[in-house]
A and B are shown apart, each in its own frame.
Chain A
């Protein structure tokens, strides 16, 4: 399953990119996060929420592919 992963705000300072594509075999959001934690050491120390196809989800959610976004605390307005 090809997943687009988007990073925002301070998380881009860890990943040094805003978007990447990952061919991923896992089934849960948590498995994807574990993979990302291995790739980006300090990511785990950061506060963020996960959106799947633009809806906030928790770690136990089933991956449905398409688009995952890692969202640090909001600062609008």
Chain B
């Protein structure tokens, strides 16, 4: 691990479609790229015991999570031939239907980005200390656990 402070992947609230669109647009100058792949995690309105999830409130051990995201990023660059990679995760309240995770990988060739994206998303789910409180419509809650 390097000594530089890892990049902050967290954004307060939902990740907007404008932000995602602008991220794509910024890559138009990087013309060695032939393929992008994007994962968008969306908050699902799960129904549990007849109660519907209205939102997830995300918290994180931010310093450790940013270090983990950085390690995942470094490992993905080692494993796959990627031109660039961006990860953003929400903190705070994200309503059902809104985006809470945005992972964006780019490479000269398409086959790489399919594999890389799955690897990165699974690593994030398993290793990033991020916690989610599922808030139901009646304002009760339960704690989300990644399966």
1/0 per residue, CB under 8 A from A, across B109-140: the answer is 00000000000010011111111110000000
* Number of A residues, CB within 8 Å of B: 14
- The listed residue with most B CB atoms (<10 A of its CB), out of A54, A72, A77, is A77
Chain A residues near B131: list those with CB within 8 A. 8-10, 72, 74-75
Given A8-B131, A9-B143, A54-B67: A76 in contact with B124 (beta carbons within 8 A): yes
- The listed residue with most B CB atoms (<10 A of its CB), out of A6, A51, A76, is A76
Secondary structure at the A interface, as helix, strand, loop or mixed, is: loop
Chain B residues near A76: list those with CB within 8 A. 58, 60, 65, 89, 101, 124-125, 128-130, 132, 146
- Find out whether the CB atom of A6 lies under 8 angstroms from the CB atom of B124: no
B66 to chain A, nearest CB (A): 10
- Let me know if B145 is at the binding interface, CB within 8 A: yes
Residue of B nearest to A6 (CB): B61
Complex Cα distance A6/B146, Å? 21
- Find out whether the CB atom of A75 lies under 8 angstroms from the CB atom of B61: no
- Let me know if A5 is at the binding interface, CB within 8 A: no
- Let me know if A69 is at the binding interface, CB within 8 A: yes
Residue of A nearest to B89 (CB): A76
Chain A residues near B105: list those with CB within 8 A. none
B38 to chain A, nearest CB (A): 14
- Let me know if B63 is at the binding interface, CB within 8 A: yes
Complex Cα distance A71/B127, Å? 11
B23 to chain A, nearest CB (A): 18
Which residues of chain A from 1 to 42 have a CB within 8 Å of any chain B CB? 6, 8-10
Chain A residues near B121: list those with CB within 8 A. 77
11 more contacts with CB within 8 A, not counting A72-B131, A73-B146, are: A6-B61, A9-B132, A10-B143, A69-B129, A74-B130, A74-B131, A75-B58, A75-B143, A76-B101, A77-B100, A77-B125
